[in-house]
């Protein structure tokens, strides 16, 4: 399978099929999420989503957590088989790390292939959904505009890591503000330059891919939005204090050989 167009998220996503169907394609495998299905995509797994042509319209709900924020997004068909976000909601969530851990544990249990663990998987899924509901109920539905914009910026960075156009101006256009305003706001609220934040997140994602996938350094560079492998290597060494190849070698002994399929769990029915 061609690797072009693959992307990944740093944290796991929960996918809920609402209408129609979509096909999730990985490096060596794919599966289809139908209406009523649920799927967990672990963090760091390169994939792409293609809308399956059906008589009814396509809709998926995608739930993610990043930096103390829960993101709930409605995906619809943007044409040409492409799934696009048509509606987004963001909620503060102090337990965001716990929510991400539940999904990773669900994926790990499912990947083991042990049928005796199905009850445990369902239990963890119920705990995840209950924790998520409680977090949304407690959230302030009208957070300050500036705080919301920071949360949206962090989320957009994660969503567009593989886009070579990702930058301050690109994000400002998506958020309907000026680049100077967004850059100054982000620095004031987080203490970090937005351009540096983008590079740090790209390199963190690249480190995950170097640890957990068989992709080459050039493929990792492309997947994380770098147009030049040389520039990617320079930024990587600046942030990680070693080259991409040296980093991969340093963790090779502790990396379990990949089995060729993504660690994914999907249930036949929401009910």
pLDDT digits (tens, 9 = 90+) for 218-243: 999 999 999 899 999 999 999 999 99
Which letter, b or e, does each residue of 185-206 get, where b requires 16 or more Cβ atoms within 10 Å of its Cβ? bbeeeeeeebeebbbbbbbebb
User: pTM of the prediction?
Assistant: 0.60
User: Encoding tokens for residue 228?
Assistant: 């030049």
Question: Which residues does residue 267 pair with via DSSP β-bridges, in sequence order?
Answer: 38
* Side-chain-facing half-sphere of 155: CA atoms under 13 Å: 25
Cβ(268)–Cβ(118) under 8 Å?
no
**pLDDT band at 139; cut points 50, 70, 90:** low
């Amino acid at each position: 399978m061609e690797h072009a167009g693959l992307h990944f998220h740093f944290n796991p996503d929960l996918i809920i099929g609402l209408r129609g169907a979509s096909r999730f394609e990985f490096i060596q495998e794919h599966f289809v999420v139908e209406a009523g299905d649920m799927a967990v995509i672990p963090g760091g797994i390169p994939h792409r989503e293609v809308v399956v042509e059906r008589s009814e319209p396509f809709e998926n709900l995608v739930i993610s957590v990043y930096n103390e924020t829960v993101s709930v997004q409605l995906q619809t068909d943007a044409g040409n088989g492409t799934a696009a976000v048509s509606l987004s909601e963001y909620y503060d969530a102090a337990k965001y790390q716990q929510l991400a851990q539940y999904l990773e544990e669900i994926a790990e249990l499912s990947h083991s292939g042990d049928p005796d663990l199905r009850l445990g998987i369902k239990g963890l899924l119920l705990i995840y959904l209950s924790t998520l509901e409680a977090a949304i109920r407690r959230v302030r539905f009208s957070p300050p505009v500036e705080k919301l914009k920071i949360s949206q910026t962090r989320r957009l960075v994660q969503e567009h890591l593989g886009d070579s156009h990702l930058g301050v101006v690109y994000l400002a256009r998506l958020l309907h503000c000026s680049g100077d305003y967004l850059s100054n706001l982000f620095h004031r609220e987080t203490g970090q330059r937005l351009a540096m934040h983008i590079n740090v997140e790209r390199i963190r994602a690249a480190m995950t891919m170097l640890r957990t996938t068989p992709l080459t350094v050039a493929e990792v560079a492309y997947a994380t939005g770098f147009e030049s492998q040389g520039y990617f290597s320079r930024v990587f060494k600046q942030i990680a204090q070693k080259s991409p190849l040296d980093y991969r070698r340093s963790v090779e002994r502790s990396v379990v050989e990949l089995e060729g399929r993504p660690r994914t769990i999907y249930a036949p029915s929401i009910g």
